[in-house]
Chain A
């Protein structure tokens, strides 16, 4: 009996995404303590800023932000949480697969490696929703007031989604450094740089307008800045006006400018991230570094 070579094996992308989620959920339930301590840390972080806000501005303070600080802060923290997750997840996926000796086996499967990354990102975002819920609860406990309308929710969803594409692009760029810069020690320059700047200059905890002018221009290089600004314009009562240097280009249309810059930046970063990620994998195949051992 002789066997003929068959056509390449097929894969079910949605089935595999679900498989990653199911696997990671099982692993998560194995480490319950770490899950709950993580949640507690997130709550403490949020409470710190909420108390600072109350101490400096009083309940419902409006200084410098043009609106309610609690709503401002909670939206910032939600975006920070989800974009930070999209930034970290691709690197974490590759790092984990490499150090647990799974990367070679995954590369052998018919599914592309980007599916692994997408599966891990999807899981990490779902996992982050618990923290997002926690922030919302804390926000309401501290008197958060949101302007909820169909248009507002639409703008929020659109700004978040486009910003997520950009954050994912940065995440892929970060994962690419694993091979390209041999950044295998659980940290990489892209993730370090972006997460540091993200907290400092994109307007998560305080408005971009309070930064020195040159830092405001640096903030324009990250998609988070535009996504947050667009979302807050509809969701935070009283928030608006010229909040970013780019708005001076066309003062009557800050939202349109936000979306235009956000879309261009997000697509560019995603394209770059994907290219670099593939270059990283090609490099690893060439120098035999998909595994710890050659």
Chain B
């Protein structure tokens, strides 16, 4: 369904210089050219900055699978989705979507995917009704008028906006706009759905409905393949058959969630502490570089730490070590590692 091999995307863009105007930039460029004072910063004033968004990404998604692409902000997830649906062209590498080459068989690729993009607005005419907007996109994507109307209604029901169907799109809140963007992607019935952070900005009930729809109706009932980009680990664990972790444009791990969790290979503990001063935490992190410590302060002023014991320390020794660092643990509870621990461990190491 998706076969990507060595996909690389390099963006070149016009640099924005703090405190310098464009004319100053051109002047610097000319000076550097005329007098040979080329610092390398201005090899071209228009396109001197490069950003490697994807770096030799290879992956395979089987038909009927829900595949999750996890990664922090700026990892390159959206770029990968845009390459897979043909919106942008890769700098290097190849990809086949539903058997079609994304470079050479663009029309066939576009005809076999449905895309839900992140972002709250995404091309709706705020002067027109919500239903009319969706019908418009349905028609543009090749649906006959009556079918476009039916699908628009069904998509609005899915995202819980049916009672706003005849309202102007401009009246929607940002969360509702996100729901509308999702509905736009679900108008089509394609073998492959590319979902780019579909539950971002949704309330918990809305997010649950969308997840149910993805796993239940799209995948289980209709057999559609789903490529899901998210940074919500719980969502990925709940929905995905396999996941890959993308960081700084590279895939740093992939496999079934359970396999990845096994990769952690050590204990994770939750620690309740009366108070965890920042200085003490910092001292702990320095003293135990093999531990990955995340902390949060609770409403009553106490703290909860989550520690991945990557240096092989046993869970039973944690209390004593914490006490030595000036942290008084009131409870230490061993946990099963989650995808979030894998993500923090791998992405954290990279950073």
Contact in complex: B9, A10 (CB < 8 Å): no
Q: Which residues of B contact A293 (CB under 8 A)?
A: 119
Interface assignment of A59: CB less than 8 Å from any CB of chain B: no
Q: Which residues of A contact B213 (CB under 8 A)?
A: none
Contact with B along A1-27 (1 / 0, CB 8 A): 111111111111001100100010011
In Å, the complex CA distance between A84 and B110 comes to 34
Report whether over half of chain A's contact residues are helix, strand or loop; otherwise say mixed: loop
Contact with A along B94-106 (1 / 0, CB 8 A): 0000111000000
Q: Which residues of A contact B9 (CB under 8 A)?
A: 288
Contact in complex: A1, B108 (CB < 8 Å): no
Interface assignment of B15: CB less than 8 Å from any CB of chain A: no
Contact in complex: A108, B115 (CB < 8 Å): yes
Q: Which residues of A contact B112 (CB under 8 A)?
A: 5-6, 8
* Interface-lining segment among A43-51, A98-106, A167-175: A98-106
In Å, the complex CA distance between A100 and B119 comes to 12
Contact in complex: A102, B111 (CB < 8 Å): no
Contact in complex: B87, A6 (CB < 8 Å): no
Q: Which residues of A contact B184 (CB under 8 A)?
A: 105
| Number of A-B residue pairs having CB atoms within 8 Å of each other in the complex | 122
Chain B CB within 10 Å, residue with most, of A5, A15, A290: A5
Chain B CB within 10 Å, residue with most, of A1, A7, A8, A182: A8
In Å, the complex CA distance between A6 and B137 comes to 20
Interface assignment of A214: CB less than 8 Å from any CB of chain B: no
With both chains docked as a complex, state the minimum distance between the C-beta of B119 and any C-beta of chain A, in angstroms.
7
Interface assignment of A36: CB less than 8 Å from any CB of chain B: no
* Interface-lining segment among B78-86, B156-164, B238-246, B325-333: B78-86
Instruction: Report the interface size for chain A: residues with CB under 8 A from the other chain.
Output: 42
- A3 and B223 in contact (CB under 8 A), knowing A16-B139, A107-B87? yes
- A287 and B12 in contact (CB under 8 A), knowing A9-B111, A294-B79? yes
* Interface-lining segment among B33-41, B122-130, B248-256: B122-130
Contact in complex: A11, B142 (CB < 8 Å): yes
Interface assignment of A133: CB less than 8 Å from any CB of chain B: no
In Å, the complex CA distance between A8 and B99 comes to 12
Chain B CB within 10 Å, residue with most, of A3, A19, A30, A102: A3
Interface assignment of B29: CB less than 8 Å from any CB of chain A: no
The one of A5, A12, A15, A104 that contacts B191, using a Cβ cutoff of 8 Å = A5
Contact in complex: B79, A108 (CB < 8 Å): no
Interface assignment of A285: CB less than 8 Å from any CB of chain B: yes
Contact in complex: B142, A10 (CB < 8 Å): yes
Interface assignment of B107: CB less than 8 Å from any CB of chain A: yes
Contact in complex: A287, B132 (CB < 8 Å): no
In Å, the complex CA distance between A11 and B191 comes to 19
Chain B CB within 10 Å, residue with most, of A31, A286, A293: A286
The residue of chain B having its C-beta at the shortest distance from the C-beta of A18 within the complex is: B139
Contact in complex: B122, A4 (CB < 8 Å): no
Contact with B along A277-291 (1 / 0, CB 8 A): 000001001111011
Q: Which residues of A contact B141 (CB under 8 A)?
A: 9, 108-110
Interface assignment of B293: CB less than 8 Å from any CB of chain A: no
Chain B residues within CB distance 8 Å of chain A: 9, 11-14, 53, 63-64, 78-79, 82, 85-89, 98-100, 107-108, 110-112, 115, 117, 119, 121-123, 125, 127-128, 132, 136-137, 139-142, 144-145, 184, 191, 221-225
Closest 7 CB pairs of A and B: A8-B111, A102-B123, A5-B98, A1-B223, A9-B142, A30-B127, A3-B191
Could you write out 20 A-B pairs with CB less than 8 Å apart? A3-B222, A3-B223, A4-B191, A5-B98, A5-B99, A5-B100, A6-B112, A9-B142, A11-B140, A12-B142, A12-B144, A23-B125, A101-B121, A105-B122, A108-B141, A109-B110, A288-B82, A288-B88, A293-B119, A294-B82
**In the complex, given contacts A10-B142, A110-B141, what are 5 additional A-B residue pairs having Cβ atoms less than 8 angstroms apart?**
A1-B223, A3-B223, A5-B100, A7-B108, A26-B128
